[in-house]
Structure 1
Amino acid sequence: MIRKRPSSIYRRRPAAVVVGGGLNALGVVRSLASAGVPVHLLAGSPDLPAARSRYVDFHRYDDREPENAVGALADWAARQPGPRRPLILTEEEKVAAVSGQRAHLESNYVLQLPPADTVIRLLSKDRFHAAAEAGGYVVPRTRHIGSIDDLDRLSALVPPLVIKPAGRQRAFLARFPRACRAESIDGARDQLRDMLTVSDDLVVQEWVDGDDSTIYFCLQCLGDGDREPVSFVGRKLRAWPRQTGGTARCVAAPEAAAALIPLTTRFFREQGVIGLAGMEYKWRATTREYVMIEPTIGRTDHQEEIATLNGVNLPWAAYRQALGQVAPRVARVAPARIWKDPMADANAAAAGEAIAFPAPSDARVVDALWRRSDPGPGLLDLYDRARARAARLMVRRS
């Protein structure tokens, strides 16, 4: 529940509904709260970071299957009659579920989603690759692997290689990392033989040389027509696991904005994308070009709050767009803010991963969990870790 007395502006604004409970959702909740937007959060557990925020009215549902989100949203709307609310998704598998059942939700929610066929195309790594290649964009050479018979297709690629599921797959991610690097064709074949026992929808790509700090991202909120999207460009400073993992630490990258904003906008416009989206790139120094890696469609990105921290509040832009209002003004922040995922960043530091790119010396590091104005997520995370540490010590002593 919301634990502070809302202002009159806060009470007057329609609530937003956010689905998901991780660090991604926590950044969305805090971004909306900073603009005075009340938030209803639907998530699978009260122990998730976003559910512990003082800014949410929390509603629990069984999220063990992605499709359950559709029923939970319909049930919640039936209990909370009112105008259509802006809906913000924070998890990839929920995007596919909501998109496929949008007709059941549109009477109660404002869904800023691309057409269903666009969602299907861009959520699949091999279909995205085909669309980008057809449009003349620079992408890594890629092969789809669906069975043992497809392993001969790897001979057309130049190692090192990276292996990924073509889409979000729970069974695969329960056994394997979301991306695995192979140093040779034979090494990739060995890994794929094991992976194919779990999934028949995998992609293998040529590795783009460069450390984690050469990975950039362009986050956007796109409207209909020719209106200029609200955009933010950042770069990773550290990832975990190294080279193939998610963002552990990142910063604004205004030096790349002039190149990446038009490139990202053109691709998304061609594909019919609206709402929240993002594109990840890797800078290839040998050819001096940005290589498209993969998009984020219909939801916020893991590190979405880095944009808000640096003056570009994309969830607030999506909320205003859903209500038919003009985009908010962008107020760039100086000095720059650095966003970090505390657990991933600590793991990377413990493994000896140095930060290759020197961030601005006056930049302020902001922890994704800890905020003086919203202490619950950080304090309860500290309590959970202390309790887990005590339990491990008791097991050792016994």
Structure 2
Amino acid sequence: MSTHLQHSAALVVGLCSHGLAVSRALQSGGVTVYGVEQNPDLPGAATNSIRRLFLVDSFADEQLVPALLDIRRQLSQYQQVVLFATNDNHVRCFGLQLQQLSAAFCISWADSCQAVLRLQKKSELELIARQNRLNYPKSAVLADIDSLKTQLAGFRYPVIIKPVQPLSSFKTQLAANLSELSAQLMQYSADLPILAQEYIAGGDTSLYFGALTLDHGSTVQAMAGRKLSSYPVARGQTTVAEVVDEPAVLALTEQFFAGFNLSGPVSLELKKAPDGSFWVIEPTVGRTDFWAELCIAAGFNQPLQEFQLALAQPLSIGPLNHNISWFDAERAPLSYWQAVWQQKSLRPYGKQAAFTFLRRSDLAPFFRACRNLLKRLSRKHL
């Protein structure tokens, strides 16, 4: 192990399947990894890729920040500890508390914190997309229900709604008319403000994403992917995805982030309309995306590059393997076997399969995930 790695470590906040992928990717690059989690029963909490798991009572900002600073004091043997977010709330927390946290930790995007916080706001995306000459669906931010008819005058239905704040009580909903939309807003009134958009037609396979590692705005490495399945269909979280060769997706992703001078991992989700045009859906900034394992399995080790950027080290860039598909065994545990059954092949989509939990060198998370699935199925049956 090189000298600089002996004096540095990584702290991954959250050991859901995404955090597990990040931890494993870092360890495979020779990094000493520690984890932070509030639920010790998660499959990711059983991984051998972390040296120690620190348990916290809550991920709420007011409790997480003091806990992280206390953990840093316990890791005083390291000159530098790089902090990793695994969801948008973590990114927002790190950005708002950057002064405290950056005194203790290294964060790859610290120099562009304000840009990251701005890009997190769904209410800012239409302006950013249009300034960068990209298609963006007709949109309105709804602060209340009373002015709904006025704000959406001239909108074409169906309309999709998304909470402006990350990790709210719902991800997306689709309304076929004004009456249906009004009922949905009543149901999710606690999540206001809510973004409403004209829905771009197309199923799961019309959803693409570009993943980049940036160094002060310059692309270090890039990969394009496509959703094959999501939940809810065509508007939810990715459950199956594949690497694709789509230069247009990468060009549009770079175009969207141009001018922000960002460092670290970013991605942009795009939807291909029936006429072949691409439309911006949403970016991810300050962290890798939920499907990071797809990139990692393809040879694009974004977490390791994020670590190296935070420490101003030379970046590890490997060849990209386009022959990879990824199956989310956390949200859709049977997705691989469903694809095998439908396509009558152990290589669905003709590609090598990567999985959320299964790894020969780290089997404990897989067995725990199987145990948890059996418990859920048993409760459902009972």
Aligned match of 1:98: 94
Distance 2:64 2:187 in 1: 32
Q: Secondary structure at the match of 1:74?
A: helix
Q: Secondary structure at the match of 2:146?
A: helix
CA contact (8 A) 2:14 2:37 kept: yes
CA contact (8 A) 1:155 1:185 kept: no
Alignment of 1:1-398 (within 5 A): 12=6, 14-56=8-50, 57-81=52-76, 82-113=78-109, 115-152=112-149, 153-170=151-168, 173=169, 177-196=170-189, 198-224=190-216, 227-254=218-245, 256=246, 258-286=247-275, 288-333=276-321, 336-346=323-333, 361-390=349-378, 396=382
CA contact (8 A) 1:69 1:98 kept: no
Q: Residue 349 of structure 1: CA displacement?
A: 8.5
Aligned match of 1:3: none
Distance 1:392 1:222 in 2: 45
Distance 1:67 1:235 in 2: 37
C-alpha distance 103-308 of structure 1, shift in aligned 2 (>3 A): same
Identity of aligned residues (%): 25
Alignment-mate amino acid for residue 241 of structure 2: C
Q: Residue 283 of structure 1: CA displacement?
A: 0.8
Alignment-mate amino acid for residue 24 of structure 1: H
Distance 2:5 2:265 in 1: 25
C-alpha distance 9-384 of structure 1, shift in aligned 2 (>3 A): farther
CA contact (8 A) 2:240 2:328 kept: yes
Scaled by the length of structure 1, the TM-score of the pair is 0.87
Q: Residue 65 of structure 1: CA displacement?
A: 1.4
RMSD: 2.6
Q: Which moved more, 1:299-308 or 1:109-118?
A: 109-118
C-alpha distance 360-161 of structure 1, shift in aligned 2 (>3 A): same
Distance 1:51 1:259 in 2: 38
CA contact (8 A) 2:293 2:354 kept: no
Q: Residue 178 of structure 1: CA displacement?
A: 0.8
Corresponding pairs, count: 375
Q: Residue 91 of structure 1: CA displacement?
A: 1.1
Distance 2:342 2:16 in 1: 25
Distance 1:91 1:242 in 2: 21
C-alpha distance 60-250 of structure 1, shift in aligned 2 (>3 A): same
Distance 1:8 1:273 in 2: 28
Q: Residue 301 of structure 1: CA displacement?
A: 0.6
What are the ranges of 5 or more consecutive residues in structure 2 without an aligned counterpart? none
What are the ranges of 5 or more consecutive residues in structure 1 without an aligned counterpart? 1-6
Distance 1:245 1:351 in 2: 19
Q: Residue 343 of structure 1: CA displacement?
A: 4.3
Q: Secondary structure at the match of 1:109?
A: coil
Q: Residue 348 of structure 1: CA displacement?
A: 6.5
Distance 1:306 1:25 in 2: 13
CA contact (8 A) 2:270 2:281 kept: yes
Alignment-mate amino acid for residue 108 of structure 1: A
Distance 2:272 2:15 in 1: 32
Q: Residue 83 of structure 1: CA displacement?
A: 1.2
Q: Secondary structure at the match of 1:342?
A: coil
C-alpha distance 244-121 of structure 1, shift in aligned 2 (>3 A): same
Q: Residue 333 of structure 1: CA displacement?
A: 2.6
